[in-house]
A and B are shown apart, each in its own frame.
Chain A
């Protein structure tokens, strides 16, 4: 199916563990984004990528790592998870930097 998919949808992990959230899009969009959604903060940009092998920090990048070796994939890694990273994570893509973004269904991550 065409679109943008995230996996897993739900994840529980322990403090200190490494966890990777996956994002895959089938549109060949140039831009991809990772946001986190927390009560009272709306959506905050973690990292974004303008093309394969090009990534840049957003508003809240600390504790996260991204890579983009292929246009269609944009995984987000928490190298050593902390409780403050409990959140809902959304991946998004856009055709160009100056067009609307399309969102995945989100990954609910709980760090215990």
Chain B
């Protein structure tokens, strides 16, 4: 079946460090891929998405590229800020399924 695996946290970085959060998926065909972010005490917000192979989603300095050959959608940011501290969820949506499947989430903490 469809599934998402993302790196376990917590991840702790210093401000201005480079961030990578790994995400791989298992699915048939070509699912849409998402990164959601959850700030403390809030619901999930869509951070970025990609709907086909080689698409790059980007928002707020974050990027992720849909890699069909490695079934991956790693999240990257060149210089993180304290305000990026949150839990990040990788997710997929198969066009035939109509429900989003989430990874287990990665907690990111950025220290000043």
Interface residues of A (CB under 8 A from B): 31, 33, 35, 40-43, 45, 48, 50, 58, 90, 92, 96-106
Which range contains the number of B residues in contact with the other chain? 20 to 34
B98 within 8 A of A: yes
How far apart are A98's CB and chain B's nearest CB, in angstroms?
5
Pair A42/B104 contact, Cβ less than 8 Å: yes
Please report the C-alpha to C-alpha distance between residue A48 and residue B102 in the assembled complex, in whole angstroms: 15
Which 4 A-B pairs give the minimum distances between C-beta atoms?
A97-B98, A42-B104, A103-B43, A103-B44
Interface residues of B in 44-58 (CB under 8 A from A): 44-46, 49
Closest residue of chain A to B90 (Cβ to Cβ) is: A42
Pair A90/B44 contact, Cβ less than 8 Å: yes
Choose from A45, A103, A104, A106 the contact partner of B99 (Cβ within 8 Å).
Answer: A45
Pair A104/B104 contact, Cβ less than 8 Å: no
Pair A90/B98 contact, Cβ less than 8 Å: no
Closest residue of chain B to A41 (Cβ to Cβ) is: B104
Please indicate the chain B residues that have their CB under 8 angstroms from the CB of A92 in the complex: 44, 100
Pair A40/B45 contact, Cβ less than 8 Å: no
Contact with A along B34-72 (1 / 0, CB 8 A): 101000001111100100000000000000000000000
Could you show 27 A-B contacts with beta carbons less than 8 Å apart?
Answer: A31-B98, A33-B99, A33-B100, A35-B102, A40-B104, A42-B89, A43-B44, A43-B89, A43-B102, A43-B105, A45-B100, A45-B101, A48-B98, A58-B99, A90-B43, A92-B44, A92-B100, A97-B97, A97-B98, A98-B95, A99-B93, A100-B34, A100-B93, A101-B46, A103-B36, A104-B43, A105-B42
Please report the C-alpha to C-alpha distance between residue A81 and residue B17 in the assembled complex, in whole angstroms: 45
Pair A42/B105 contact, Cβ less than 8 Å: yes
Please indicate the chain A residues that have their CB under 8 angstroms from the CB of B89 in the complex: 42-43
Please report the C-alpha to C-alpha distance between residue A45 and residue B93 in the assembled complex, in whole angstroms: 13
Chain B CB count within 10 A is highest, among A33, A43, A97, A106, for: A43
Please report the C-alpha to C-alpha distance between residue A40 and residue B34 in the assembled complex, in whole angstroms: 20
Please indicate the chain B residues that have their CB under 8 angstroms from the CB of A96 in the complex: 98
